[in-house]
């Protein structure tokens, strides 16, 4: 068990990867993973405040399982991909949803306000996480708002599993030690000032953040 680094070189997110979440949004399953990047300026830690930007009136938070790369991987196949992972961590990925709804090409913009990526408080090896009979497929990811579980699913519900995602990304770009791949959410919650939002992943301590006021 280790504390995850606060300054990854690269953060890669995956959109609509949980099949139930995609079905809720009436989005057809994609043939390839939908990927986006988040900058280091989006990073906050456990207990930090999620700021609400004045440019958005509808910010959502999504609980996700983050995979932290442990050693350089490039053009790795799915059978070997998980061997390059240092461990898993909790992630809260925020989106300015009203901006995204204007035009799907604004995904990067909608994902990159300051404070829109929280992760921690610990990093746990995949061997420690995958203790259930079905291994990593049984790991449960849940989005909580003000103490209530709003959305939950297991890794088995992913359109593209962790190994498949890492292998796909590594065919195009090298992933380095400390990089994070955030694997998608079972569902989002809309945030209001004063809310408490949590990511809970089985085998990990919860990640909790409070929502701040909306900026002018």
Measured from the Cβ of residue 17, the count of other Cβ atoms closer than 10 Å reads 25
* pLDDT for the residue 31: 82
* pLDDT, greater one: 47 or 4: 47
Of 48, 188, 172, 181, which Cα lies nearest the Cα of 126? 181
Residue 146 has pLDDT above 50, yes or no: yes
For residue 69, the number of C-alpha atoms closer than 13 Å in the C-beta half-sphere is 27
State residue 18's pLDDT score.
87
The answer on pLDDT for 150 being more than 60 is: yes
Strand, coil or helix: what is 121?
Answer: strand
Domains parsed from the chain with CATH numbers:
11-214 (3.90.850.10)
Residue 58 CB-density burial (10 A; 0-12 exposed, 13-18 middle, 19+ buried): middle
Buried b (16+ CB within 10 A) or exposed e, 121-131: bbbbebeebbe
Closest CA to 61 of 207, 180, 216: 207
Q: Say if residue 61's pLDDT is above 60.
A: yes
What average pLDDT does this structure show over 55-83?
97
Alpha-carbon distance of 211 to 155, in angstroms, equals 27
Q: What's the gap between Cα 129 and its chain centre?
A: 16
Read off the pLDDT of residues 11-46 as tens digits, 9 standing for 90 and up. 999 988 987 654 454 555 678 899 999 999 999 999
CB 178 within 8 Å of CB 18: no
The mean per-residue pLDDT over the stretch 104-132 comes to 92
101 φ, ψ to 5°?
A: -70, -20
Nearest to 144 by CA among 95, 186, 203, 99: 186
Measured distance CA(139)–CA(105) in Å, rounded: 32
Pick the more confident residue, 216 or 173: 173
Is the omega angle on the peptide bond into residue 164 within 30 degrees of 0, that is, cis?
no
Token pair of 3 as six digits? 């504390």
């Amino acid at each position: 068990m280790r504390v995850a680094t606060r300054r990854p070189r690269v953060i890669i997110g995956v959109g609509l990867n949980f099949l139930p979440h995609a079905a809720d949004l009436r989005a057809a399953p994609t043939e390839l993973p939908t990927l986006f990047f988040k900058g280091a300026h989006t990073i906050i830690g456990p207990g930090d405040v999620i700021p609400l930007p004045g440019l958005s009136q509808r910010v959502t938070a999504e609980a996700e399982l983050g995979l932290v790369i442990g050693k350089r991987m490039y053009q790795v196949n799915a059978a070997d991909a998980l061997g390059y992972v240092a461990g898993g961590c909790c992630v809260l990925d925020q989106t300015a949803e009203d901006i995204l709804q204007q035009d799907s090409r604004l995904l990067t913009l909608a994902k990159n306000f300051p404070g829109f990526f929280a992760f921690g408080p610990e990093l746990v090896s995949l061997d420690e996480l995958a203790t259930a009979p079905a291994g990593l497929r049984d790991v449960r990811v849940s989005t909580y708002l003000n103490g209530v579980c709003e959305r939950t699913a297991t890794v088995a519900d992913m359109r593209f599993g962790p190994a498949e995602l890492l292998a796909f990304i590594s065919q195009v770009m090298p992933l380095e030690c400390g990089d994070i791949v955030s694997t998608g959410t079972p569902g989002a919650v809309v945030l209001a000032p004063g809310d408490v939002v949590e990511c809970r992943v089985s085998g990990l301590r919860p990640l909790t953040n409070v929502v701040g006021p909306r900026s002018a």
